[in-house]
Each structure stands twice: as structure tokens, then as C-alpha cells.
């Protein structure tokens, strides 16, 4: 799955029942990278067959979040507009004997599961519905009871595939329940529509979380049945299942389920930082502040993915974000900077920023007003001397400090700190050689005079 001569077609298939969270984003990103590295296509499929829970506002939010992250798809499909395809597949599988009606209620199925567990057996559906005769089914349906429908697994053949991350996989179909694919009200569950879409959309690679491994085992038989019944010229996709994200404590975190693009935007986290972290999280490659997506794509390889849980840590994201902000040129951020800040201003304050939004606070050091600390009598006398010594040269800070060092004998902290405090109101911050010219001679002299008085 890592290297192919042909271009890959991947898909990201969220249900619009909520906002994307960091786990969804990681899945979308890796599918985007798998497609882009081969020059292929990355498709968005909105899985909105659950009409009761799907919301159009979430569809819009999913599109907006992908766009903000720079993961815009090459095409989009909506399952709610593809229902006729699922009906056709359903009828074809029914005719082939791979679908059968079942009538147990949820409560009856739960009782069966408890009995099997009590006997030390796996809670697999017992296929009781297959033993019903036409007369039995007719009698059940007389009061208006409608069946739900199950896909009939073939127990004679083991289910195998070479997983792009987990390696060779093997399942005994007899140890799996025949999955319900359609409810009694005619609505669809996930399994069959997803398989139909993957064939119809020409998906070559399905990359998703390891919680779908058993789904893949079932769907492989669905793909085989669909190809035999409808799509003789189609090929089954390749599969890869990546480890799920966990919190830094090593446990699945509820917070990860709510941590999405809105939360990142509120903290002024850069999309490039999110991409740099999630691109390599859970792989053997180092997580680095790489803003160049081509470089990330070049190193993307499913062979480097680990089967161990991938740990998401906010402190790593903040660290990467800061490092990426420090890489930004003025042109990258000019429309996000406070009024009046030019390229020299950005260059001066950039090394002291954690986020781009911090620029406004630091820029006030230049524009004022600033709040100065109280100075000792000795420091006020020193600052009065600095007021007289201030000369405007190519590097006024170097000239000023050299002059004062020669005049007063001060050096190190005793020389630099009172000057910085008087000129910026801060104990530390941007390089004064770059900052002082931005403050300007008149304002700088005024600040020194106020501090000395």
C-alpha cells in the first residue's frame, strides 16, 4: 500500500452528526497524504444516511475545517443522494442469496448474547432466522412486523488480507456475526453502503482506524459478493488500519473527542503545526516543525506506522506551533498583524512569539504606552545619563550601551536591564538592537526621561 505505480484514490467519510475532532483530522490527513504522494485523488464522502442525527451545519463545518487545514478534497459525494445504488446492490445480493430477513427484537438479541456469554461462548448471532420457512415468516409479518436484513457470511473460507500497517490478517468468518445491513424501517447501517460506495467511487485504498479491523473482515466478503453480482470489472480496495490516538496519560481521552478545529483556532494554533504533528504522530519518524508539506509528503510511508497507540500531547502541539511561527516570513502573516507593523517589526518580535496573535501585545512595546517599573535612585541617575548619551546611529542600541559602559563602568545586567525596563517596560523580550529603531529617537528619549524622573 506504500508504493504503487498507479495513482491512489482515497476517501475520508465522516458522518455529519458532530464536529471533526483531532482523531478524525488525523485520518483525513493521512488519506490526503496517501493520495497526494501518488498524484492521486482524495475524496470526501458525507455518510449522512442517518437522517435523524445528520445536520447540514455539520456538513458545512466539515468542509470549512478541511479547507482551513489545506485538505480540500478533489470531489465530494453524499450518501443521502446515492440511495438508489444501495437499493440496487441490496436486490442483487438478495437474489444471490447473500441477504436474509431476521425478526428478533433488540431485547431478544440481548438475551441471546447473555446466554452465550454465560456458557463461555462468543456472542455471535445464531442464524435462527435462516431456519424460518416462508410460512413462519408470513405468520410473523401478519401483525405488521417488518424484518431487518443481515448479510450472510461465508463460513467456508477464511478472511485474509495484507494490511498496509498491521501486516497479514486472518479472520474465521464463523467467529463473526452476520451483520445487520438494513433496519426494519428501510434505513441503512454503515457496512453495505460503504462497500458499495468504495466500488462505485473507485477507491483504491481504505485507510482508517484500527477499530474498523473487524468491519473490514466482514466488508471483504461484501466486496467479493458485490463484485460477483454487479461489478465484475472492479477491484477490492487495499486496507490499512492505523492505531488510535490516546491522551498523554496513555488512556483514551474524552477530551480528544472534543478537541477540534474550533479549539485550535481559539488558541491561534497554525494549521501547519497541526499537520506537522499529526502527519508523523504514531510513526517511527521524528515529529518536527516542518511547514513544507512537500517535505512531509516525501517522507510519508505507511511502513513507518506503529501498531502502538499514538499519544497526542498538547505541549508537543504548542512547541511545534511556536517553532513554525518562528519560520513565517512577513508575507505569510501580514494580514494578521496589528496596524503599522512592517517587515522590520515582524522580524524584531518574531523570535519572542508563541502564536501570531501574540504580536499585538509585543507591538504595544513599540507603539506605547508602556508601564515602567519603579527604579532606585541609582538607576534613575543612570537613566538620566542614558537620556543625554542617546545618539541615533546605524545601531543606536549598540552605540548607547557602549557609551554608557565607558562612562559608568556598568556591564551585564546592571547595564542592560534598567535600559530595557525603561524603554519597553519589560525584563526581557525582543532584541533591543532591532526594537530601539522601531521605537524611534524621540519616543525613546521621552521614555528614558520619564524613567529618570
Asked, as a colleague might, if the bond just before 369 is cis with ω within 30 of 0, I would say yes
Is the pLDDT at 3 greater than 90? The verdict is no
Is the pLDDT at 316 greater than 50? The verdict is yes
Residue ranges making up the domain that contains 341: 330-367
Residue 421 lies in a domain: yes
Q: What is the pLDDT of residues 255-291, one digit of tens each?
A: 777 789 999 999 999 999 999 999 999 999 999 999 9
| Helix or strand (DSSP H, E) at 150 | strand 148-151
Is the pLDDT at 321 greater than 60? The verdict is yes
Residue 62 lies in a domain: no
- Whether residue 353 sits in one domain with residue 386: no
Residue 431 lies in a domain: yes
Residue 81 lies in a domain: no
Domain of 440: which CATH number?
Answer: 1.10.10.350
The whole-number pLDDT of residue 1 equals 52
- Whether residue 389 sits in one domain with residue 361: no
Q: Do 345 and 366 contact (CB within 8 A), yes or no?
A: yes
Please identify, among 367, 388, 422, the residue that sits at the C-terminal boundary of a domain.
367
Arithmetic mean of pLDDT over the chain: 95
The whole-number pLDDT of residue 403 equals 97
Is the pLDDT at 250 greater than 90? The verdict is no
Predicted TM-score (pTM) of the model is 0.91
Known binding-site residues for ATP equal: 254
- Whether residue 432 sits in one domain with residue 410: yes
Q: Which residues pair with 170 in a beta bridge?
A: 160
- The count of structural domains within the chain is 2
Known binding-site residues equal: 254
Q: What is the pLDDT of residues 108-158, one digit of tens each?
A: 999 999 999 999 999 999 999 999 999 999 999 999 999 999 999 999 989
Residue 396 lies in a domain: yes
How far apart (Å, rounded) are the C-alpha atoms in residues 114 and 133? 26
Residue 389 lies in a domain: yes
Torsions phi, psi for 440 (to 5 deg): 95, 155
Residue 432 lies in a domain: yes
- Whether residue 448 sits in one domain with residue 402: yes
Residue 42 lies in a domain: no
| Of the candidate ranges 3-7, 21-25, 247-251, 336-340, the one whose mean pLDDT is the lowest | 3-7
How far apart (Å, rounded) are the C-alpha atoms in residues 157 and 173? 7
- Whether residue 398 sits in one domain with residue 351: no
Please identify, among 367, 395, 416, the residue that sits at the C-terminal boundary of a domain.
367
Other C-beta atoms closer than 10 Å to the C-beta of 450 total 13
Is the pLDDT at 365 greater than 90? The verdict is yes
- Whether residue 361 sits in one domain with residue 400: no
Amino acid at each position: 500500500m506504500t508504493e504503487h505505480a498507479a495513482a491512489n484514490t482515497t476517501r475520508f467519510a465522516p458522518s455529519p452528526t458532530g464536529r471533526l475532532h483531532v482523531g478524525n483530522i488525523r485520518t483525513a490527513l493521512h488519506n490526503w497524504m496517501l493520495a497526494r504522494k501518488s498524484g492521486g485523488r482524495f475524496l470526501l464522502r458525507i455518510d449522512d444516511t442517518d437522517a435523524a442525527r445528520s445536520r447540514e451545519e455539520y456538513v458545512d463545518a466539515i468542509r470549512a475545517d478541511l479547507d482551513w487545514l489545506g485538505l480540500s478534497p478533489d470531489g465530494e459525494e453524499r450518501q443521502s443522494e446515492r440511495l438508489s445504488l444501495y437499493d440496487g446492490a441490496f436486490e442483487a445480493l438478495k437474489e444471490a442469496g447473500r441477504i436474509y430477513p431476521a425478526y428478533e427484537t433488540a431485547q431478544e438479541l440481548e438475551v441471546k448474547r447473555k446466554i452465550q456469554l454465560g456458557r463461555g461462548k462468543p456472542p455471535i448471532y445464531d442464524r435462527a432466522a435462516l431456519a424460518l420457512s416462508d410460512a413462519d415468516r408470513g405468520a410473523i409479518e401478519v401483525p405488521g412486523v417488518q424484518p431487518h436484513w443481515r448479510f450472510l457470511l461465508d463460513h467456508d473460507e477464511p478472511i485474509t488480507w495484507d494490511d498496509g500497517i498491521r501486516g497479514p490478517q486472518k479472520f474465521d468468518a464463523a467467529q463473526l456475526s452476520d451483520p445487520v445491513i438494513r433496519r426494519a424501517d428501510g434505513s441503512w447501517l454503515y457496512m453495505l453502503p460503504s462497500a458499495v460506495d468504495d466500488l462505485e467511487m473507485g477507491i483504491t485504498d481504505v485507510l482508517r482506524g484500527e477499530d474498523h479491523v473487524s468491519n473490514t473482515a466482514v466488508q471483504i466478503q461484501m466486496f467479493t459478493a458485490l463484485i460477483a453480482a454487479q461489478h465484475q470489472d472492479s477491484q477490492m480496495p487495499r486496507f490499512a488500519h492505523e492505531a488510535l490516538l490516546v491522551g498523554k496519560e496513555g488512556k483514551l481521552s474524552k477530551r480528544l473527542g472534543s478537541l477540534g478545529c474550533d479549539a485550535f483556532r481559539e488558541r491561534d494554533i497554525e494549521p501547519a503545526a497541526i499537520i506537522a504533528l499529526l502527519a508523523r504522530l504514531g510513526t517511527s519518524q521524528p515529529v518536527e516543525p516542518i511547514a513544507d508539506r512537500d517535505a512531509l509528503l516525501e517522507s510519508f510511508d505507511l511502513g513507518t506506522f506503529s501498531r502502538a497507540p499514538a499519544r497526542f500531547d498538547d505541549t508537543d502541539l504548542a512547541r511545534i506551533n511556536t517553532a513554525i511561527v518562528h519560520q513565517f516570513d512577513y508575507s505569510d502573516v501580514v494580514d494578521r498583524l496589528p496596524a503599522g507593523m512592517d517587515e522590520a517589526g515582524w522580524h524584531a518580535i518574531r523570535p519572542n512569539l508563541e502564536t501570531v496573535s501574540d504580536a499585538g501585545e509585543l507591538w504595544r512595546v513599540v507603539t506605547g504606552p508602556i508601564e515602567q517599573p519603579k527604579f532606585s535612585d541609582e538607576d534613575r541617575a543612570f537613566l538620566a545619563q542614558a537620556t543625554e548619551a542617546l545618539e541615533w546611529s546605524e545601531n543606536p542600541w549598540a552605540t548607547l550601551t557602549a557609551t554608557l559602559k565607558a562612562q559608568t563602568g556598568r556591564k551585564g545586567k546592571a547595564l542592560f536591564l534598567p535600559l530595557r525596563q525603561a524603554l519597553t517596560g519589560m525584563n526581557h523580550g525582543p532584541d533591543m538592537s532591532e526594537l530601539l529603531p522601531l521605537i524611534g529617537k524621540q519616543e525613546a528619549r521621552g521614555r528614558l526621561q520619564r524613567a529618570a524622573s
